[in-house]
Amino acid sequence: MNKAITKTEFNFEGQNSLYVGKVRDVYDIDNDLLVMVVSDRISAFDVVLPEGIPYKGQVLNQIAAKFLDATEDICPNWKIATPDPMVTVGYKCETFPVEMIVRGYLTGSSWRDYKAGARSICGISIPDGMKEHQKFETPILTPTTKAEIGMHDENISREEIISSGLVSKEDYETLEQYSLALFQRGSEMAAKRGLILVDTKYEFGKKDGAITLIDEIHTPDSSRYFYAEGYEDRFANGEQQRQLSKEFVREWLMEGGFQGRDGESVPEMTAEIIDSISNRYIELYEGIIGEKFDKSISDNVVDRIENNVKNMLARLR
Protein backbone atom coordinates (compact mmCIF):
# COMPACT_ATOMS: atom_id res chain seq x y z
CA MET A 1 0.00 0.00 0.00
CA ASN A 2 1.22 3.49 -0.82
CA LYS A 3 1.95 5.83 2.04
CA ALA A 4 -0.68 8.57 2.35
CA ILE A 5 0.40 11.84 0.73
CA THR A 6 -0.62 14.65 3.06
CA LYS A 7 1.75 17.40 1.92
CA THR A 8 3.52 18.47 -1.27
CA GLU A 9 6.17 21.11 -1.77
CA PHE A 10 6.94 21.17 -5.48
CA ASN A 11 8.68 23.98 -7.33
CA PHE A 12 7.55 23.81 -10.95
CA GLU A 13 8.88 26.03 -13.72
CA GLY A 14 6.75 29.17 -13.93
CA GLN A 15 5.23 28.56 -10.50
CA ASN A 16 3.82 31.73 -8.95
CA SER A 17 2.22 30.42 -5.80
CA LEU A 18 0.92 27.44 -3.87
CA TYR A 19 -2.51 27.37 -2.25
CA VAL A 20 -3.05 24.64 0.33
CA GLY A 21 -6.72 23.79 0.78
CA LYS A 22 -8.36 21.25 3.04
CA VAL A 23 -7.56 18.44 0.61
CA ARG A 24 -5.96 19.96 -2.50
CA ASP A 25 -2.59 21.61 -3.11
CA VAL A 26 -3.03 24.03 -6.00
CA TYR A 27 0.01 25.35 -7.89
CA ASP A 28 -0.39 28.51 -9.98
CA ILE A 29 1.69 28.30 -13.17
CA ASP A 30 2.30 31.56 -15.07
CA ASN A 31 -1.00 32.92 -13.70
CA ASP A 32 -2.65 30.89 -16.45
CA LEU A 33 -2.62 27.21 -15.47
CA LEU A 34 -3.37 25.41 -12.22
CA VAL A 35 -1.85 22.12 -11.12
CA MET A 36 -4.24 20.58 -8.61
CA VAL A 37 -2.71 17.79 -6.55
CA VAL A 38 -5.47 15.90 -4.76
CA SER A 39 -3.77 14.82 -1.56
CA ASP A 40 -4.78 12.00 0.77
CA ARG A 41 -5.80 14.49 3.46
CA ILE A 42 -9.36 14.06 4.71
CA SER A 43 -11.61 16.70 6.18
CA ALA A 44 -14.95 16.66 7.96
CA PHE A 45 -16.94 19.42 9.64
CA ASP A 46 -14.54 21.84 7.91
CA VAL A 47 -11.59 20.39 9.86
CA VAL A 48 -8.61 18.57 8.33
CA LEU A 49 -8.14 15.32 10.24
CA PRO A 50 -4.66 14.45 11.56
CA GLU A 51 -4.05 11.36 9.41
CA GLY A 52 -4.21 10.84 5.64
CA ILE A 53 -6.04 8.06 3.83
CA PRO A 54 -4.04 6.07 1.22
CA TYR A 55 -5.52 6.16 -2.33
CA LYS A 56 -8.16 8.74 -1.35
CA GLY A 57 -6.58 11.38 -3.58
CA GLN A 58 -6.51 9.01 -6.54
CA VAL A 59 -10.17 8.07 -5.95
CA LEU A 60 -11.34 11.69 -5.83
CA ASN A 61 -9.23 12.87 -8.75
CA GLN A 62 -10.31 10.07 -11.07
CA ILE A 63 -14.02 10.34 -10.21
CA ALA A 64 -13.97 14.11 -10.76
CA ALA A 65 -12.14 13.75 -14.08
CA LYS A 66 -14.71 11.28 -15.39
CA PHE A 67 -17.65 13.50 -14.41
CA LEU A 68 -16.02 16.64 -15.81
CA ASP A 69 -15.64 14.87 -19.14
CA ALA A 70 -19.24 13.60 -18.98
CA THR A 71 -20.71 17.07 -18.39
CA GLU A 72 -18.64 19.29 -20.68
CA ASP A 73 -21.63 19.65 -23.01
CA ILE A 74 -23.57 21.40 -20.21
CA CYS A 75 -21.00 24.07 -19.40
CA PRO A 76 -17.29 24.76 -19.89
CA ASN A 77 -14.96 23.31 -17.25
CA TRP A 78 -11.42 24.02 -16.21
CA LYS A 79 -9.86 20.60 -16.90
CA ILE A 80 -7.14 20.16 -19.52
CA ALA A 81 -5.61 16.82 -18.53
CA THR A 82 -4.93 14.37 -15.69
CA PRO A 83 -1.19 13.66 -16.05
CA ASP A 84 -1.10 11.65 -12.82
CA PRO A 85 -3.73 9.61 -10.95
CA MET A 86 -3.66 12.26 -8.20
CA VAL A 87 -3.37 15.38 -10.39
CA THR A 88 -5.52 17.49 -12.68
CA VAL A 89 -4.06 20.33 -14.74
CA GLY A 90 -6.42 23.00 -15.96
CA TYR A 91 -7.09 26.65 -16.63
CA LYS A 92 -6.91 29.23 -13.88
CA CYS A 93 -10.26 30.97 -13.46
CA GLU A 94 -11.45 33.95 -11.47
CA THR A 95 -13.35 32.13 -8.73
CA PHE A 96 -16.83 33.04 -7.53
CA PRO A 97 -16.89 33.41 -3.71
CA VAL A 98 -19.83 31.04 -3.26
CA GLU A 99 -20.40 27.30 -3.48
CA MET A 100 -23.59 26.09 -5.15
CA ILE A 101 -25.10 23.27 -3.10
CA VAL A 102 -27.96 21.33 -4.68
CA ARG A 103 -30.13 19.18 -2.44
CA GLY A 104 -32.59 16.62 -3.71
CA TYR A 105 -33.41 15.17 -0.30
CA LEU A 106 -33.75 16.37 3.30
CA THR A 107 -30.73 14.72 4.87
CA GLY A 108 -27.37 15.41 6.48
CA SER A 109 -26.89 18.93 7.81
CA SER A 110 -30.20 20.09 6.34
CA TRP A 111 -32.03 17.38 8.30
CA ARG A 112 -30.12 18.21 11.49
CA ASP A 113 -31.15 21.88 11.15
CA TYR A 114 -34.74 20.90 10.30
CA LYS A 115 -34.94 18.54 13.28
CA ALA A 116 -33.74 21.40 15.49
CA GLY A 117 -36.66 23.53 14.30
CA ALA A 118 -35.41 25.34 11.20
CA ARG A 119 -38.00 25.68 8.45
CA SER A 120 -35.89 27.71 6.05
CA ILE A 121 -32.56 26.98 4.39
CA CYS A 122 -30.82 29.86 2.60
CA GLY A 123 -34.14 31.67 2.30
CA ILE A 124 -35.98 28.62 0.93
CA SER A 125 -39.01 27.57 2.97
CA ILE A 126 -39.20 23.90 3.97
CA PRO A 127 -42.72 22.62 4.84
CA ASP A 128 -43.64 21.10 8.18
CA GLY A 129 -44.05 17.37 8.47
CA MET A 130 -41.08 16.25 6.39
CA LYS A 131 -39.08 13.19 7.41
CA GLU A 132 -35.38 12.39 7.28
CA HIS A 133 -34.22 11.40 3.77
CA GLN A 134 -37.48 12.60 2.19
CA LYS A 135 -37.23 13.76 -1.41
CA PHE A 136 -37.98 17.41 -2.16
CA GLU A 137 -40.61 18.05 -4.82
CA THR A 138 -37.83 19.61 -6.87
CA PRO A 139 -34.13 19.98 -6.01
CA ILE A 140 -33.31 23.12 -4.04
CA LEU A 141 -30.24 25.36 -4.17
CA THR A 142 -28.69 26.25 -0.82
CA PRO A 143 -25.48 28.21 -1.51
CA THR A 144 -22.75 28.88 1.02
CA THR A 145 -19.95 31.36 1.24
CA LYS A 146 -16.48 29.90 0.68
CA ALA A 147 -14.61 29.79 3.97
CA GLU A 148 -10.92 30.10 4.65
CA ILE A 149 -9.10 27.12 6.17
CA GLY A 150 -10.28 26.50 9.71
CA MET A 151 -13.47 28.49 9.21
CA HIS A 152 -16.95 27.14 8.58
CA ASP A 153 -18.80 27.71 5.33
CA GLU A 154 -21.85 29.89 5.99
CA ASN A 155 -25.30 29.52 4.45
CA ILE A 156 -26.39 32.49 2.40
CA SER A 157 -29.52 33.23 0.39
CA ARG A 158 -29.83 34.03 -3.28
CA GLU A 159 -31.04 37.51 -2.38
CA GLU A 160 -28.10 38.15 -0.05
CA ILE A 161 -25.59 37.04 -2.67
CA ILE A 162 -27.01 39.40 -5.28
CA SER A 163 -27.74 42.38 -3.01
CA SER A 164 -24.26 42.24 -1.44
CA GLY A 165 -22.60 42.16 -4.86
CA LEU A 166 -20.86 38.84 -4.27
CA VAL A 167 -22.23 37.73 -7.64
CA SER A 168 -24.18 39.75 -10.20
CA LYS A 169 -27.81 38.83 -10.82
CA GLU A 170 -27.05 37.75 -14.39
CA ASP A 171 -24.12 35.57 -13.37
CA TYR A 172 -26.00 34.05 -10.44
CA GLU A 173 -28.88 33.03 -12.66
CA THR A 174 -26.37 31.25 -14.90
CA LEU A 175 -24.84 29.53 -11.86
CA GLU A 176 -28.30 28.32 -10.88
CA GLN A 177 -29.02 27.05 -14.39
CA TYR A 178 -25.70 25.21 -14.66
CA SER A 179 -25.95 23.74 -11.15
CA LEU A 180 -29.41 22.29 -11.67
CA ALA A 181 -28.49 20.92 -15.09
CA LEU A 182 -25.33 19.30 -13.69
CA PHE A 183 -27.33 17.80 -10.84
CA GLN A 184 -29.83 16.39 -13.31
CA ARG A 185 -27.04 14.80 -15.37
CA GLY A 186 -25.37 13.46 -12.24
CA SER A 187 -28.69 12.00 -11.08
CA GLU A 188 -29.21 10.27 -14.42
CA MET A 189 -25.70 8.81 -14.34
CA ALA A 190 -26.14 7.68 -10.73
CA ALA A 191 -29.44 5.98 -11.57
CA LYS A 192 -27.65 3.82 -14.11
CA ARG A 193 -25.43 2.57 -11.27
CA GLY A 194 -28.42 1.88 -9.01
CA LEU A 195 -27.71 5.01 -6.99
CA ILE A 196 -29.52 8.20 -6.01
CA LEU A 197 -27.56 11.47 -6.10
CA VAL A 198 -28.85 13.03 -2.87
CA ASP A 199 -26.94 16.30 -2.69
CA THR A 200 -23.74 17.83 -3.99
CA LYS A 201 -21.80 21.06 -4.40
CA TYR A 202 -20.40 22.88 -7.41
CA GLU A 203 -17.84 25.65 -7.68
CA PHE A 204 -17.49 28.02 -10.59
CA GLY A 205 -15.19 30.70 -11.92
CA LYS A 206 -14.75 32.80 -15.04
CA LYS A 207 -12.32 32.15 -17.87
CA ASP A 208 -12.17 34.82 -20.58
CA GLY A 209 -15.58 36.07 -19.47
CA ALA A 210 -17.24 32.63 -19.62
CA ILE A 211 -18.62 30.99 -16.49
CA THR A 212 -16.63 27.79 -16.00
CA LEU A 213 -17.06 24.78 -13.72
CA ILE A 214 -14.00 24.28 -11.52
CA ASP A 215 -12.65 21.94 -8.85
CA GLU A 216 -14.21 18.48 -8.35
CA ILE A 217 -17.75 17.27 -9.04
CA HIS A 218 -19.85 14.30 -7.96
CA THR A 219 -17.15 12.78 -5.75
CA PRO A 220 -17.94 11.22 -2.35
CA ASP A 221 -16.25 14.22 -0.70
CA SER A 222 -18.57 16.70 -2.40
CA SER A 223 -21.68 14.53 -2.82
CA ARG A 224 -23.93 12.10 -1.04
CA TYR A 225 -25.41 9.00 -2.69
CA PHE A 226 -28.08 6.54 -1.55
CA TYR A 227 -28.53 3.04 -2.92
CA ALA A 228 -31.78 3.12 -4.91
CA GLU A 229 -32.68 -0.47 -4.07
CA GLY A 230 -34.63 -0.49 -0.83
CA TYR A 231 -34.85 3.30 -0.55
CA GLU A 232 -38.65 3.41 -0.48
CA ASP A 233 -38.98 0.58 2.06
CA ARG A 234 -36.38 2.09 4.38
CA PHE A 235 -37.98 5.50 4.14
CA ALA A 236 -41.44 4.11 4.85
CA ASN A 237 -40.11 2.24 7.88
CA GLY A 238 -38.12 5.20 9.20
CA GLU A 239 -34.84 3.34 8.74
CA GLN A 240 -31.49 4.81 7.82
CA GLN A 241 -30.59 4.70 4.14
CA ARG A 242 -27.65 2.79 2.72
CA GLN A 243 -25.30 5.56 1.75
CA LEU A 244 -22.40 5.85 -0.63
CA SER A 245 -20.72 9.01 0.64
CA LYS A 246 -18.28 10.41 3.19
CA GLU A 247 -21.11 10.49 5.73
CA PHE A 248 -19.69 7.33 7.35
CA VAL A 249 -16.63 9.38 8.37
CA ARG A 250 -18.83 12.10 9.88
CA GLU A 251 -20.85 9.47 11.74
CA TRP A 252 -17.67 7.88 13.14
CA LEU A 253 -16.50 11.32 14.31
CA MET A 254 -19.86 12.13 15.91
CA GLU A 255 -19.85 8.79 17.73
CA GLY A 256 -16.49 9.87 19.14
CA GLY A 257 -17.89 13.22 20.26
CA PHE A 258 -16.48 15.38 17.47
CA GLN A 259 -18.41 17.78 15.22
CA GLY A 260 -15.76 20.46 14.69
CA ARG A 261 -16.84 22.61 17.62
CA ASP A 262 -14.47 24.42 19.96
CA GLY A 263 -13.01 22.20 22.63
CA GLU A 264 -13.70 18.91 20.80
CA SER A 265 -10.93 16.48 19.87
CA VAL A 266 -10.76 14.14 16.88
CA PRO A 267 -10.97 10.47 17.98
CA GLU A 268 -7.78 8.44 17.58
CA MET A 269 -7.27 7.44 13.96
CA THR A 270 -5.82 3.95 14.39
CA ALA A 271 -4.25 1.97 11.56
CA GLU A 272 -7.41 -0.12 11.47
CA ILE A 273 -9.63 2.95 11.09
CA ILE A 274 -7.39 4.41 8.37
CA ASP A 275 -7.38 1.13 6.44
CA SER A 276 -11.16 0.81 6.70
CA ILE A 277 -11.69 4.37 5.43
CA SER A 278 -9.31 3.70 2.52
CA ASN A 279 -11.25 0.57 1.60
CA ARG A 280 -14.53 2.46 1.80
CA TYR A 281 -13.25 5.13 -0.60
CA ILE A 282 -12.26 2.42 -3.07
CA GLU A 283 -15.73 0.93 -2.66
CA LEU A 284 -17.20 4.37 -3.35
CA TYR A 285 -15.19 4.64 -6.56
CA GLU A 286 -16.30 1.25 -7.83
CA GLY A 287 -19.92 1.92 -6.95
CA ILE A 288 -20.07 5.38 -8.51
CA ILE A 289 -17.99 4.67 -11.63
CA GLY A 290 -18.87 1.01 -12.15
CA GLU A 291 -15.28 -0.02 -12.76
CA LYS A 292 -12.72 -1.87 -10.65
CA PHE A 293 -10.35 0.56 -8.94
CA ASP A 294 -6.77 0.19 -10.13
CA LYS A 295 -4.40 1.18 -7.33
CA SER A 296 -1.56 3.21 -8.77
CA ILE A 297 1.25 1.76 -6.66
CA SER A 298 4.65 3.45 -6.75
CA ASP A 299 7.87 3.22 -4.79
CA ASN A 300 7.83 7.01 -4.47
CA VAL A 301 4.49 8.65 -5.20
CA VAL A 302 5.82 12.18 -4.71
CA ASP A 303 8.56 11.68 -7.34
CA ARG A 304 6.00 10.15 -9.72
CA ILE A 305 3.70 13.12 -9.36
CA GLU A 306 6.52 15.62 -9.88
CA ASN A 307 7.82 13.91 -13.02
CA ASN A 308 4.36 13.49 -14.56
CA VAL A 309 3.45 17.12 -13.93
CA LYS A 310 6.76 18.45 -15.26
CA ASN A 311 6.30 16.46 -18.46
CA MET A 312 2.76 17.79 -18.90
CA LEU A 313 3.74 21.41 -18.27
CA ALA A 314 6.59 21.13 -20.77
CA ARG A 315 4.00 20.20 -23.40
CA LEU A 316 1.58 22.97 -22.42
CA ARG A 317 3.88 25.94 -21.83
pLDDT per residue, tens digit, the chain (317 aa), is: 679 999 999 999 999 999 999 999 999 999 999 999 999 999 998 899 999 999 999 999 999 999 999 999 999 999 999 999 999 999 999 999 999 999 999 998 899 999 999 999 999 999 999 999 999 999 999 999 976 544 557 899 999 999 999 999 999 999 999 999 999 999 999 999 999 999 999 999 999 999 999 999 999 889 999 999 999 999 999 999 998 878 889 889 999 999 999 999 999 999 999 999 999 999 989 999 999 999 998 989 999 999 999 999 999 97
**Is the whole model's pTM more than 0.75, yes or no?**
yes
**The CATH number of the domain covering residues in 95-245:** 3.30.470.20
Which amino acid, 194?
G
Please tell me the predicted confidence (pLDDT) of residue 150. Answer: 46
CA-derived radius of gyration, the chain: 19
Distance, CA of 149 to CA of 236 (rounded, Å): 40
Please tell me the predicted confidence (pLDDT) of residue 147. Answer: 61
Please tell me the predicted confidence (pLDDT) of residue 148. Answer: 57
- Tell me how many degrees the CA angle 176-107-114 measures, rounded to the nearest 5: 95
